[in-house]
């Protein structure tokens, strides 16, 4: 394939060909929508498990297993009974012959016929395989892994973010599926609430914005139509946070009043229905997902998952908050109680200061730069509590950055407290090569803590962690227009245990980048 999905749609418009349309256009029947999705490279697992299987939130004794029944994935309503009994099985082998747990769970129309099965009683630090049955059919077999307990000498995990369906194929997820990793972290922008942007014909056909539960369900179903995404879910357990586009661009707090709150509730529900998320906090039948949590990978790594969307205020307020008071207190307590290990924060949107040019303004204040007092408070708390070996992994930017984190980014003598790795996007469009070439050096000079910037590529990060060293491998795909684009390692950065600050691996220091601090 030589066209990305957006160009494919543009080309169809220019040629007046009506057989290529945005699959979520108004007025299409479910079958027509599916045909349109397939014309853009989607395919689905056999019904009713069209959207595949997934697992999430691995702990030493269990994981959450997920599937959702959607015989017509792009239909606004599934033609299914109100409640369908779904069977599940967990085994020690791929053939599912050595069964260790099984049961049934109700898939109800209320939750989009999704099931989230919290499986317990498993052994720590090992692979398991699982599958579902419903309506006389069996799903594909997924593989998952429990967290280890006790002494751990190595962990490998991947981080993905920003996967606009209309911007390309998920070769990056194909790569993740094939990685030897223990788990995957998704850093947000799993879906985009808008379709192909810009003045092309597709926008005209797209109809009103995504607003209702049915709209968001169909959007998630379209994205799961990329086989590589289903493959990555079926290969590894995932931890999840979200950013803005799961709901609406750059949203915050409750701005927008009642109509926005309804929209947000629809978006959150559809997200929950389509994710292997453990919502342990749920106090009612309808989800209002709680994202933030802390998990351990034996004695080697503590993972703190942050929610930088649900609880934030508007940006640029003197007392603004990106975490919300409750999550901020919780994070400080987590820092106070942290074990002696690596500490990783799954952080959807950039923590480090980013000025656009020397003496210039902040590039974006939708990220932590719009919440200065709170950033200072949190980073000072990291320092005064003596937390060491902090690595922050970040999405949102559609470009790769490496930043060393100081308690005061404007004071180059203030303490270094960690490193932030911002990963390339899976597909979502970055700035142009010209913009990157011009602005990489400007950002580098304006931000003394910025070590590296590369914005011309797409991919994901793989992190390899031992007691002595944290290494970030930037995996990039050759071409997002190619669904099987090969994956290579662009460069590797390291952080040594007990010594704050990152350094690039000498073997990859000559790789292309638009800024690199010597």
Binding site for Ca ion (CB under 5 A): 189, 243-244, 396
Q: Check if the beta carbon of residue 193 is closer than 8 Å to that of residue 245.
A: yes
DSSP summary character for residue 362: B
273 interface partner picked from Ca ion, Fe ion, none, CB below 5 to 8 A per type: none
Q: Which is nearer to Ca ion, 343 or 398 (CB)?
A: 398
Closest CA to 144 of 264, 227, 29, 61: 61
Token representation of residue 447: 């931000």
Min dist. Cβ of residue 394 to Fe ion (A): 11
Residue from the set 182, 189, 307, 404 that interacts with Fe ion by CB under 5 A: 189
> Is the C-alpha dihedral spanning 105, 109, 110, 116 positive or negative?
positive
Indicate whether 162 belongs to the interface with Fe ion (CB under 5 A): yes
Min dist. Cβ of residue 166 to Fe ion (A): 12
> Which range of residues in 26-34, 158-166, 429-437, 479-487 is near Fe ion by CB under 5 A?
158-166
Q: Which is nearer to Fe ion, 152 or 162 (CB)?
A: 162
List C-alpha distances in Å: 98 to 129, 141, 267, 318: 10, 14, 39, 59
Grouping H, G, I as helix, E, B as strand and the rest as coil, residue 115 is strand
Q: Which is nearer to Fe ion, 198 or 506 (CB)?
A: 198
Q: CA neighbours within 13 Å on the CB side: how many for 183? A: 28
Q: Which is nearer to Fe ion, 244 or 388 (CB)?
A: 244
Q: Which is nearer to Ca ion, 179 or 396 (CB)?
A: 396
Min dist. Cβ of residue 163 to Fe ion (A): 8
Min dist. Cβ of residue 247 to Fe ion (A): 13
> What is the CB neighbour count within 10 angstroms for residue 35?
16
Residue from the set 241, 347, 428, 491 that interacts with Fe ion by CB under 5 A: 428
> Is the C-alpha dihedral spanning 461, 344, 151, 467 positive or negative?
positive
Min dist. Cβ of residue 428 to Fe ion (A): 5
244 interface partner picked from Ca ion, Fe ion, none, CB below 5 to 8 A per type: Ca ion
Q: Which is nearer to Fe ion, 240 or 417 (CB)?
A: 240
- How many angstroms separate the CA atoms of 381 and 343, rounded? 14
List C-alpha distances in Å: 133 to 139, 221, 225, 288: 6, 20, 20, 27
Main-chain dihedrals φ then ψ at residue 24, nearest 5 degrees: -100, 15
428 interface partner picked from Fe ion, Ca ion, none, CB below 5 to 8 A per type: Fe ion
Q: Which is nearer to Ca ion, 48 or 196 (CB)?
A: 196
Min dist. Cβ of residue 364 to Ca ion (A): 10
Q: Contact positions toward Fe ion, by CB under 5 A? A: 162, 189, 428
């Amino acid at each position: 394939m030589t066209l990305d999905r957006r160009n494919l749609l543009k080309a169809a418009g220019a040629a007046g060909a009506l057989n290529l349309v945005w699959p979520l256009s108004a007025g299409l029947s479910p079958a027509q929508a599916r045909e349109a999705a397939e014309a853009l490279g989607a395919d689905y697992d056999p019904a009713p498990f069209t959207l595949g299987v997934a697992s999430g939130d691995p702990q030493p004794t269990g994981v959450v297993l997920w599937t959702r029944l959607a015989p017509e994935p792009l239909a606004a309503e599934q033609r299914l009974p109100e409640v369908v009994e779904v069977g599940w099985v967990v085994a020690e082998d791929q053939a599912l012959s050595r069964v260790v747990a099984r049961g049934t769970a109700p898939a109800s129309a209320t939750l989009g016929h999704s099931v989230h099965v919290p499986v317990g009683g498993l052994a720590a630090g090992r692979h398991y395989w699982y599958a579902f049955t419903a309506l006389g059919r069996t799903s594909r077999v997924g593989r998952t892994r429990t967290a280890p307990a006790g002494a751990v000498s190595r962990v490998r995990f991947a981080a993905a973010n920003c996967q606009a369906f209309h911007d390309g194929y998920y070769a990056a997820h194909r790569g993740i599926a094939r990685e030897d990793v223990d788990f995957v972290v998704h850093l947000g922008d799993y879906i985009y609430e808008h379709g192909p942007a810009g003045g092309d014909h597709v926008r005209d056909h797209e109809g009103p914005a995504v607003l209702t539960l049915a709209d968001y369900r169909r959007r998630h179903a379209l994205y799961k139509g990329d086989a590589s995404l289903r493959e990555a879910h079926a290969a590894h357990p995932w931890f999840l946070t979200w950013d803005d586009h799961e709901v609406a661009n750059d949203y915050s707090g409750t701005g927008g009043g009642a109509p926005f709150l309804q929209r947000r509730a629809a978006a959150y529900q559809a997200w929950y229905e389509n994710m292997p998320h453990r919502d342990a906090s749920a106090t009612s039948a309808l989800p209002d997902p709680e994202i933030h949590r802390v998990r351990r990978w034996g004695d080697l790594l503590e993972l703190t998952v942050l929610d930088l969307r649900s609880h934030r205020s508007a940006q640029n307020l003197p007392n603004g908050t990106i975490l919300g008071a409750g999550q901020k207190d919780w994070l400080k307590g987590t820092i106070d109680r942290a074990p002696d290990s690596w500490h990783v924060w799954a952080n959807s949107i950039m923590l480090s200061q980013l000025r656009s040019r020397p003496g210039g303004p902040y590039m974006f204040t939708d990220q932590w730069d719009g919440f200065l007092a709170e950033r200072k408070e949190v980073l000072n708390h990291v320092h005064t509590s003596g937390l060491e070996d902090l690595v922050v992994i970040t999405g949102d930017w559609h470009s790769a950055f490496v930043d060393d984190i100081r308690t005061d980014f404007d004071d180059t003598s203030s303490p270094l407290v960690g490193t932030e790795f911002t990963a390339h996007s899976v597909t979502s469009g970055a700035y142009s090569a010209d913009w990157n070439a011009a602005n990489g050096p400007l950002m580098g000079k304006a931000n003394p803590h910025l070590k590296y910037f590369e914005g011309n590529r797409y991919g994901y990060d793989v992190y390899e962690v031992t007691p002595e060293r944290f290494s970030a491998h930037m995996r990039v795909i050759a071409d997002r227009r190619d669904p099987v684009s090969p994956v290579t390692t662009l460069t590797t950065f390291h952080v040594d245990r007990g010594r704050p600050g990152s350094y690039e691996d000498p073997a990859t220091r000559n790789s292309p980048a638009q800024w690199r601090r010597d």
